[in-house]
């Protein structure tokens, strides 16, 4: 019995570590942004939307693939491959695993901005995505 | 049983194909040389043996252009952005060159963490084609530029076929090969989009 109880607790603990919610990510980015710049306020959905649709000195914006409505499916700008919706309300798999989220931010920010995104930019974009239903 | 037919496409390297080969040999219908044809224009004997094995699963005109692309890492990392191109369509040297350049992968950052990179490279090398895919002494990176691809797509297709809006790019296999995502490039699943006449 004790072993089972131990395993159960372990399973609970690992769920807490690995299964994250979009709100966890938002809180994390907000905290990180404040650490980098103490004067920084809360993530802004409006700023996030502007960031999402604007070009940043490269060929593509976020919307080039995810479209201007990230609650709907998008399409890869080069290959035409279907991209599932990005907004968590439309696709529960989004913003649920750190490794995946960070991998895509790394790749896509590099494509869209030619650099990594700041915690503030990530927080703003996520705040925007969370306003979509 | 059907899986054996799928993996037989890469019979020289794929797991499980050995058993299948043995089966064919027992039938006394196959010489090793014939398997070198690998992906296109299978000798009819292979097809018939495959049909025999699969029972009723395959239609009579299935032509053996099927590949097993069910590798979890390859699917989740590579097929997120494009069709899971069958590893058999490039040589191991070409795949190594592709995987060496992932941070700038045809204009996109497709970088992988070291564990995923190693796993996928292993899969690609193990299932790579035996055909030489070099040009001017360098490994080719684009399947669509290999001699095999150009030859296979040269017949009766309009010259601008890759530029048509419904196709967009020669890399968009699924525009015509409707089951390309499953590694199925058979005639049965081939549908030219509207406006593209053969």
B66 in a domain, yes or no?
Answer: no
B168 and B79 in a common domain: yes
User: Does B45 fall in a domain?
Assistant: yes
Chosen for mutation from A66, A80, A105, A117 (greatest number of chain B CBs closer than 10 Å) is: A80
In a domain, B120, yes or no: yes
Give the chain A residue nearest B84 (alpha carbons).
A81
Q: Are B175 and B98 within one domain?
A: yes
* Beta-carbon contacts of residue B156 (< 8 Å; ≥ 6 apart): B198
Domain with B142 in it: 72-189
Give A 56-95 residues with CB within 8 A of chain B: 76, 78-81
Q: How confident is the model at residue B109 (pLDDT cuts 50, 70, 90)?
A: very high
Ramachandran category for residue A57: left, alpha or beta (phi over 0 → left; psi -120 to 50 → alpha): left
Give the alpha-carbon dihedral of A42, A46, A49, A54, to 10 degrees: -100
- For the segment B21-31, the average pLDDT, to the nearest whole number, is 45
Q: How many domains would you assign to chain B?
A: 2
Query: Is residue B63 situated within a structural domain?
Result: no
Is residue B175 located within the same domain as residue B81? yes
Query: A124 in a domain, yes or no?
Result: yes
Summary mean pLDDT of chain A: 90
B49 and B107 co-located in one domain: no
Select the more confidently predicted residue: B43 or A52. Answer: A52
Average of per-residue pLDDT across B125-132? 96
By percentage, how much of chain A surpasses pLDDT 90?
Answer: 79
pLDDT value of residue B19:
46
pLDDT of amino acid B95: 98
User: On the CB side of A79, how many CA atoms lie within 13 Å of its CA?
Assistant: 21
Question: Is the residue at B32 inside a domain?
Answer: yes
pLDDT bin (cut points 50, 70, 90) of residue A5 is low
CA distance B29 to chain A (A): 41
Residues B42 and B125 in one domain: no
pLDDT digits (tens, 9 = 90+) for A13-68: 554 455 699 999 999 999 999 999 988 889 999 999 999 999 999 999 999 999 99
Q: Which residue of A has its CA nearest to B109?
A: A107
Provide the shortest C-alpha distance from residue A79 to chain B (in Å): 6
What value does the mean pLDDT of chain B take? 77
User: Is the per-residue pLDDT at B60 higher than 70?
Assistant: no
Beta-carbon pairs below 8 A across chains A and B: 34
* Residue B47 confidence (pLDDT): 44
pLDDT at B176 over 90: yes
Do residues B152 and B108 share a domain?
yes
Distance CA A124, CA A116 (A): 15
Residues B87 and B179 in one domain: yes
Q: Is B198 helix (H, G, I), strand (E, B) or coil?
A: coil
In chain A the beta strands, taken as DSSP E runs, fall at 74-75, 82-83
Confirm whether A72 is domain-assigned: yes
A33 inside domain: yes
Burial readout A42-79 (b: 16 or more C-beta within 10 A, e: otherwise): ebebebbbebbbeebeeebbbbbbbbeebbeebebbbb
CATH of the domain at A60: 1.10.760.10
Neighbours of A131 (CB within 10 A): 13
How many structural domains compose chain A?
1
Report pLDDT for A4: 62
Residues B178-189 pLDDT 10s? 999 999 999 999
Q: Tell me, what's the pLDDT at B21?
A: 45
pLDDT at B39: 45
Question: Has residue B194 been placed in a domain?
Answer: no
Owner of token pair 């974009």: A125
The answer to whether residue A49 is domain-embedded is yes
Q: In terms of domains, do B89 and B150 share one?
A: yes
DSSP state, residue B165:
T
In a mutational test of the A interface, the residue from B109, B171, B178 whose CB has the highest number of chain A CBs within 10 Å is B109
Residue A11 in domain: no
Alpha carbons B65 and B182: distance in angstroms, whole number: 11
Return the sign of the alpha-carbon dihedral for residues B166, B187, B54, B40. negative
Residue B72 in tokens: 């979890």
CA angle B40, B43, B45 (to 5 degrees): 140
Mutation target vs A (from B108, B116, B142, B175; most A CBs, 10 A cutoff) = B108
CA distance B49 to A24: 55
Q: Per the CB < 8 Å rule, is A111 touching B109?
A: yes
Residue A5, domain member (yes or no): no
User: Hey, are the CB atoms on A78 and B83 less than 8 Å from each other?
Assistant: no
B116: Cα separation from own chain's centroid: 21
Is B11 within the bounds of a domain? yes
The partner residue sitting opposite A106, judged by closest CB among B82, B111, B168, is: B111
A110 shares contact with chain B (CB less than 8 Å):
yes
Residue A9 resides in a domain: no
> Chain B residue closest to A80 (CA)?
B172
Q: What is the pLDDT of residue B85?
A: 97
Q: Which residues from chain A sit within 8 angstroms of residue B171, using beta carbons?
A: 78-79
> Residues of B with CB below 8 A from A97's CB?
none
pLDDT of residue B195: 76
pLDDT band at B156 (very low <50, low <70, confident <90, very high): confident
**A78 part of a folded domain:** yes
A96: domain range? 20-131
Contacts of B110 in chain A (CB under 8 A): 107
How far apart CA B47 and CA B112 sit, in angstroms, is 38
> Is B49 in the same domain as B78?
no
Give the pairing type, strands A74-75 and A82-83.
antiparallel
Q: Are residues B10 and B76 in the same domain?
A: no
Whether residue B44 is found in the same domain as residue B78: no
Quick check: is B138 in a domain?
yes
Give the Cα separation of B182 and B190 in Å (integer).
13
pLDDT at B62 over 50: no
Model confidence at B7, pLDDT cuts 50, 70, 90, reads very low
């Amino acid at each position: 019995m004790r072993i089972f109880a131990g395993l159960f607790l372990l399973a609970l603990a690992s769920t807490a570590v690995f299964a994250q919610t979009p709100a966890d990510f938002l809180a994390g980015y907000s905290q990180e942004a404040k650490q980098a710049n103490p004067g920084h306020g809360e993530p802004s959905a409006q700023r996030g939307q502007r960031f999402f649709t604007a070009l940043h000195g490269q060929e593509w914006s976020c919307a080039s693939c995810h479209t201007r409505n990230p609650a709907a499916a998008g399409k890869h700008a080069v290959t035409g491959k279907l991209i599932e919706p990005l907004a968590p309300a439309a696709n529960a798999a989004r913003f649920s695993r750190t490794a995946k989220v960070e991998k895509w931010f790394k790749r896509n920010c590099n494509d869209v901005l030619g650099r990594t995104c700041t915690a503030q930019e990530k927080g703003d974009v996520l705040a925007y995505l969370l306003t979509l239903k | 049983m059907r899986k054996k037919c799928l993996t037989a496409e890469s019979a020289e390297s794929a797991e499980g194909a050995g058993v299948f080969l043995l089966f064919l040999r027992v039938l006394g219908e196959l010489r090793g040389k014939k398997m070198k044809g690998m992906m296109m224009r299978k000798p009819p004997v292979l097809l018939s043996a495959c049909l025999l094995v699969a029972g009723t699963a395959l239609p009579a005109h299935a032509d053996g252009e099927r590949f097993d692309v069910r590798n979890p890492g390859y699917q989740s990392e590579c097929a997120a952005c494009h069709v899971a191109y069958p590893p058999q369509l490039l040589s191991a040297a070409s795949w190594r060159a592709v995987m060496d350049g992932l941070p700038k992968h045809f204009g996109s950052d497709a970088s992988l963490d070291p564990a995923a990179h190693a796993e996928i490279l292993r899969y690609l090398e193990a299932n790579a084609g035996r055909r030489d895919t070099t040009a001017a002494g360098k490994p080719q990176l684009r399947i669509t530029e290999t001699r095999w691809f150009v030859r296979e797509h040269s017949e009766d297709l309009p010259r601008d076929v890759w530029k048509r809006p419904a196709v967009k790019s020669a890399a968009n296999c699924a525009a015509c090969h409707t089951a390309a995502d499953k590694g199925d490039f058979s005639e049965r699943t081939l549908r030219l989009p509207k406006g593209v006449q053969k």
